[in-house]
A = this chain, B = another copy of it.
Amino acid sequence: VTRWLDDREQSAWRALLAMNARLLARLNRQLQDTCGLSIADYEILVALTDVGERSLRMGELGQMVEWEKSRLSKQVTRMAARGLVVRRDCDDDRRVAYVDLTDAGRAAIESAAPAHVALVRHLVFDALDDQQVDALADIAATVLGRLDLDQDEEAAAPAGIRPGG
């Protein structure tokens, strides 16, 4: 006997999905139109500037953005072709590849960030009060915690019929 979502849950769930989809589409369009960057480009550039160095191993970068490694590899190839980043070999361990932010890459993120942040503020934070911002952070942290737990179970369990209960 399946326990379906009740009306409150269903409407919250659908609103969340709709918000996600439309918010990302809107942010992506704005970045694309104003700077020729995609959200994916932006994410990589942020990861690269976030850490003090302008340089990260593919593996580290992959952990930060949480993408499939092949997706990251291809994204970096495209960004390198556009001159936003450059690949560099590691001398200590020839298996690892570093990704360096170029000056052009830094310039791109610096010119894109203000309008992007302004839009995020306009669409999200200007519309929410402090309590809602805290609630949002709590909710997201809670769900992320569940996702982590679930992943651990999966690693431990013998590939059973989850999720049953």
Contacts and interface: CB of A to CB of B under 8 A. Distances in A.
Contacts of A150: 26, 122-123
A18 B142 CA distance: 12
B26 A121 contact: no
A26 B147 contact: yes
A2 B8 CA distance: 38
A120 B5 contact: yes
Given A5-B120, A12-B140, A66 B26 contact: no
B147 A23 contact: yes
Interface in A107-142: 113-115, 117-128, 130, 132-142
A69 interface: no
B8 A134 contact: yes
Nearest to A43: B17
B146 A13 contact: no
A157 interface: no
Interface of A: 2-5, 8-9, 11-13, 15-16, 18-24, 26, 30, 66, 113-115, 117-128, 130, 132-147, 150, 163-165
Given A8-B130, A9-B133, A123-B150, 17 more contacts: A2-B113, A2-B117, A5-B121, A16-B136, A19-B147, A22-B66, A22-B144, A23-B147, A30-B163, A121-B165, A122-B150, A127-B142, A127-B143, A128-B139, A132-B139, A132-B142, A135-B135
